[in-house]
Amino acid sequence: MTRTLEYDICVIGSGPAALTFAGQFLEGRSNLKVLLVESGETLDPAYSNEHDESLSRRYNDLQTSAQALYGGRLSGWLETNKPDYLTESRLRAFGGTGNVWSGWLCAMERLDLERGKWPVSYAQMMSFYEKVCAYYQIPPGWCLDAQAEDAGDAWQSLPLPSQMFRTRPLLARRINFGQLFRERLVHSENVDLLLGANAARIDTRGVNPSKSAHQLTFVPTQAPSSAIEHNVSASAFVIAAGCIESTRLLEASELGAASGALGQYFQEHFYIWNAGTFQMTENCAPYRPLYLQEKTLSVSARDSVVGMIVPTARYLTEKGGGTFRAILGGGPSIPGTLNLCCEQLPAHSNHIVLDNVAPHTRTAAQGAVHVHNELSAADTKTIENAVMSLGESLLSSGLITHFKPAPFDIAPTQWQAPHRLAPGNHPSGTTRMSSDPSQGVVNSDCKVHGVDNVYVASTSVFPTAGYANPTLTLMALALRLAETLQERG
């Protein structure tokens, strides 16, 4: 039995990307009819946290039919360092991983975009970052690099002596996306939400370059391998199913493969807890509230902030490698610790592929992913340079003594406690953006090259990851895509 639903725009997913996109169609700003197709089966937070009503961290033992679809295979450092990465770095439910995320918001730097040859200018990104801040009522000075000087009285820079580092605020606003949009969707005339619907593939007509998608096929989440299929026909399809699943859907639909970049350049952030220890000196005292306390500094009822240390353009030119940010930990009774988030350099060999199932026998359940990701020698160098240079700079500033770095004679993947390497749960890069169809999967509008009407709203379009937590940039791109599709009517 087949049933076809008809909409102007069909969006796959209901996480931060999909909801930020759909938000632009909710309040009568457009007459376009939008459908969100979500494989999670309920609006209720099955993963709710009894101690904190706003957000939960209990998604890791979540057993639902939808979450089970996130299973797959890992190889490389993720397999050793986080074997349950595929089911514990994302949540398949209404609101997506935006129900369980930590809420750190940070814009990318101009240099991050330039190094990755993003086909979107920094000025344009900045204008969409500002719109996202206005939409979610986030104070821009705390998360937009270009506006850090407006952050407020609580902000102060660390007195680092070299030209190699500077400081920036990092803002935490724990928006619960599912909770925030639930009522708005219920009352919307233009945006519908279909729960328990697992997107399986997008079908196209025509041939390159005028190929166009005409329908999405979805199957019930409860019976992903069954013969029951439904279709949505739409003028435009927006894949907002998270980095790995958006890439999987394009691969399963045999779309976007022309450049050879589809599924390649998988990147994760390397989170390194305790990359070095130190003793704080008396000079640290004035900076403790922002940089050295165990918890973050509250700057409003909803927002808290921590100071981070980031490399300058001069550092990156002299040392090469990826960029990073450091957050200092520790308190009066424990030693200081250096905690890093490092960018992984894009490498063609790090990839997401469908796991060994022939296309004609694939079903939504069978077409699971295989994610392969190696920590390269260049990535290890990024980490080692960051630790040694930061240690040197903090020592010479007189802020710390007795700096003891992690043991770089051992591979970071093999470090034992108290040093720890883990993914940031920030996958990106596998449908990278480029104006040149031979270099990327989507163009500067996030439209898949070679297909008229399929768009990707995901961190998978990032050509480089920088050090910033990705969701603010993701939301800026989703909002930009919404404006583009609204203008096209």
Q: Which residues bind ligand FAD (CB under 6 A)?
A: 12-18, 37-40, 89-90, 92-93, 96-98, 100-104, 198-199, 240-242, 245, 425-426, 458-459, 469-471, 474
Residue nearest to ligand FAD (CB): 15
240/272 with CB nearer ligand FAD: 240
Would you say 32 or 194 has its CB closer to ligand FAD?
Answer: 194
- The least distance separating ligand FAD from the CB of residue 162, rounded to whole angstroms, comes to 29
CB closer to ligand FAD out of 15 and 437: 15
For ligand FAD, the closer of residues 92 and 351 by Cβ is: 92
Query: For ligand FAD, which is the closer residue by CB, 15 or 391?
Result: 15
**Cα dihedral: 54, 60, 62, 63 (round 10):** 170
For the beta carbon of residue 475, count every other beta carbon within 10 angstroms.
Answer: 29
Q: Which of helix, strand or coil describes residue 23? A: helix
Residue 349 beta carbon to ligand FAD: minimum distance, rounded to whole angstroms: 24
- Helices of type H across 344-461: 377-396
Distance between terminal CA atoms of the chain?
32
- Residues 300/309, Cβ–Cβ less than 8 Å: no
| Neighbour count for residue 28 (Cβ, 10 Å) | 9
Exposed, middle or buried: residue 285 (CB in 10 Å: 0-12, 13-18, 19+)? exposed
**Closest listed residue to residue 21, CA positions, set 98, 126, 122, 107:** 98
Return the number of the residue (284 or 306) whose C-beta is nearest ligand FAD: 306
Of 167 and 246, CB closest to ligand FAD: 246
Smallest distance from the beta carbon of 419 to ligand FAD, in angstroms?
21
Residue nearer to ligand FAD on the CB measure, 174 or 319: 174
Element containing residue 371 per DSSP (H, E): strand 369-373
Contact 40, 66 (CB under 8 A): yes
What are the CA-CA distances from residue 318 to residues 116, 370, 385, 431 (Å)? 18, 36, 11, 30
Distance in Å, CB of 454 to ligand FAD, minimum: 14
C-beta separation of 247 from 353 below 8 A: no
Please choose, from the candidates 486, 472, 484, 388, the residue with its C-alpha nearest in 3D space to the C-alpha of residue 131.
Answer: 472
Distance separating alpha carbons of residues 483 and 18, to the nearest angstrom: 13
**φ, ψ dihedrals at 291, nearest 5°:** -110, -20
Residue matched to tokens 């270009």: 146
- Closest approach, Cβ 212 to ligand FAD, in A, equals 21
Q: How far is the CB of 215 from ligand FAD (least distance, A)?
A: 14
CB of 32 to ligand FAD, least distance (A): 20
To the nearest whole angstrom, how small is the minimum distance from the Cβ of residue 267 to ligand FAD?
A: 13
User: Percentage helix, strand, coil, to 5, in the chain?
Assistant: 30, 25, 45
Between 15 and 263, CB nearer to ligand FAD? 15
Smallest distance, ligand FAD to C-beta of residue 79, A:
18
Could you tell me the smallest distance in angstroms from the CB atom of residue 251 to ligand FAD? Answer: 12
C-alpha pair distances (Å), 253 with each of 54, 75, 92, 452, 462: 36, 24, 20, 15, 21
Nearest distance from residue 275's CB to ligand FAD, in Å? 19
CB-nearer residue toward ligand FAD: 154 or 195:
195
Whose Cβ is closer to ligand FAD: residue 219's or residue 406's? 219
CB 259 within 8 A of CB 441: yes
